[in-house]
Amino acid sequence: MSAEDVKGQDDMADAWAAALAESSGGSTSGNEVASEVAQPAEQVAPAAFTNFAPTSGGGGAGNDINMILDIPVQLTVELGRTRIPIKNILQLAQGSVVELDALAGEPMDVLVNGFLIAQGEVVVVNDKFGIRLTDIVTPSERMRRLSRV
């Protein structure tokens, strides 16, 4: 090592020693931060949560269904479907006949919010059309139909 290298190392060591002395003795801001951290934490109350577990009373299920009884849904009775080009739709006029994919006398689909729930036949009561339900789709059948979509 040359004399210059030794002098450079000594100068660097002196600079580090001065910096350490300055940070430990002269500044009080470091002590303030340390005292803030060292203060004990305040006592915190435990959180209180509402119990959502079902009650043992039998009236709970009746109350649950009552909550949804007034929700409106869209009921649709579908006679059949067809696909036709727009040019044929523009040619329709009063008295035109549109051929559907359903056969005459075949049960019609009853849909709630677009999902098949039953099938039935058209009836006329007091000059008003209605539908007599002939077959209710079981929940398992509904799930099977949903999985196909």
Mean pLDDT by 10 residues, the chain (149 residues): 68 75 57 53 76 62 76 90 93 92 86 90 88 90 76
pLDDT at residue 90 in the model = 94
The pLDDT value recorded for residue 62 is 55
**What pLDDT, on a 0 to 100 scale, did the predictor assign at position 2?**
67
Q: Which superfamily does CATH assign the domain made up of 73-148 to?
A: SpoA-like (2.30.330.10)
- Hey, is 21 helix, strand or coil? helix
Residue 148 CA to residue 44 CA, distance in Å, equals 54
- The residue extents of the domains of the chain are 73-148
Per DSSP (E only), the strands in 15-125 are: 75-78, 108-112, 115-125
Q: What is the pLDDT of residue 95?
A: 93
> What pLDDT does 75 receive?
92
Q: Which long-range contacts (CB under 8 A, 24 or more apart) does 6-15 make?
A: none
Q: In this structure, which amino acid lies at residue 126?
A: N
**Residue-level pLDDT at 30:** 47
